[in-house]
Every structure is written in structure tokens, then in C-alpha cells.
Amino acid sequence: MCPMWLIISTLLIYLCNMKKALFYFLPLCIFISCRYSKTPETFSNAGVSIQYPAWLFKTDDVYPEKNTLLQLKNNYRSVYFILVDHGMKPGNNGFEIMCDSAISQLKRNIKEPNIEKHDSDFTTVNNLKCREMQISGVMSSKQQDHRFLFVIDVFETPEGHIYQTAGWLLRHKQQLWLKDLQKSAYSLKTKI
């Protein structure tokens, strides 16, 4: 099957001289290369599955810890997402301990932490207990400082297994991609 852009470019070359064809062909290629599929990708491994937007790409340099199951990023949009398996909760208050640990670790690693949205507890459609936290902070880079918004979700299965998702993006772009990160986190399913 021939790609649509190839057919269109061939027609342009035949209909126009070479300069005009390049004038139309180049913007068309740029437009086509910048589009992403609307169908979400699915990650399935180690007893869990999760869906994420097709514009996020798998990598291994976002959060390189051994218990990280999935690492995603889009450098162009400055959006990142991870899925971490923390194992069984440590005791009766293990869920609360893991939530406090996640937020404390984040606060230590960013400058100027600011609570954007206080903790909210709910149950996902996949019957997982969840606590979501939103905090912003400055992450330093070599050239400048950027304020990122972090969305951390800690999940507990009915058996007491703890998973965590974390997504972060530039705070001023939260209207564009925050809902996508939350939708990904809420799609977490465990295989019982």
C-alpha cells in the first residue's frame, strides 16, 4: 500500500515544475510528520496494563530505577510519564506511608515546591484505591530554570499491591496535556 503523501507528492511533481513541487511538498511532509495517532498505545507486563497517548514514546532514561515498569517521554512537548511497581504494601498503613514517601521525595528534589491541588482519594473504574497529588516546582537545567507540574497517583490493589504513576509537564502547558496524563494513570489495570 502506497502512503498518501507519496501519491500526493508524485502528482505535484507531474503537475508543476520542480520548484513549485518542492514549495508544496515540503510543508506537506512537515504537516504529516508532526501528526500523532489518536489511538492510545497499550503497555502490558508484570501483571499490569496501562494505556497512554501515542505521542509519548518509550525510553529508558526518565526514571532509571529497577522497579520502574514503563518510562515515556516526548521531548518536544516536555511531557514525561512513568509507572513504578512498589510491591506489597508495608503493613496496615502501607498505602499512606507510600503516598507520604512519594510526595516527600519529590519535594526534596525540586526547588520552590508548591501544592497545586491537595490530595484526593478515589477508586478508579478498575477497582483500584488511588490517591492523587499535584505539586509544582522548579527543575534546574544547564541553561534555565523551568517550573513543572507533577501529577502523582499511588494505587493499591485489593490484595495490597502498590503501584505508582507520575507524570510531569511544563506548568504553563497543563491545559494542553494534563488530562492525557491523568487518563493514562486512571487506565491502570491489574491482572488478578
Q: Could you tell me the CATH number of the domain that includes residue 174?
A: 3.40.1000.10
Residues 105 and 156 in one domain: yes
What's the Cα-to-Cα distance from 25 to each of 3, 14, 28, 180, 192, rounded to whole Å? 14, 12, 5, 32, 51
Same domain? For 22 and 52 the reply is no
Same domain membership, residue 110 and residue 15? no
- 103 and 22 assigned to the same domain: no
Structure confidence by residue, pLDDT tens digits, 50-63: 999 999 999 999 88
Name the residue range of residue 14's domain: 4-33
Answer left, alpha or beta for residue 97, where phi above 0 means left and psi between -120 and 50 means alpha: alpha
| Residue 47 or residue 188, greater confidence | 188
Whether residues 67 and 111 fall in one domain: yes
Same domain, 10 and 84: no
Output the pTM of the full model.
0.80
Which residues sit opposite 83 in a β-bridge? 70, 165
Say whether both 56 and 111 belong to one domain. Answer: yes
20-32 pLDDT, tens per residue?
555 655 565 555 5
Do 111 and 20 share a domain, yes or no?
Answer: no
Same-domain status, 129 and 167 = yes
Better-predicted residue by pLDDT, 41 or 29: 41
Domain co-membership, 79 together with 120: yes
Count of structural domains, the chain: 2
Q: What is the pLDDT of residues 151-164, one digit of tens each?
A: 999 999 999 999 99
In the predicted model, what is the mean pLDDT of residues 107-121? 91
- Read off the pLDDT of each residue in 172-188 and give the average, rounded to a whole number: 95
Q: Pull the grid cell for residue 135.
A: 505539586
- Give the separation between CA 1 and CA 3, rounded to whole angstroms: 6
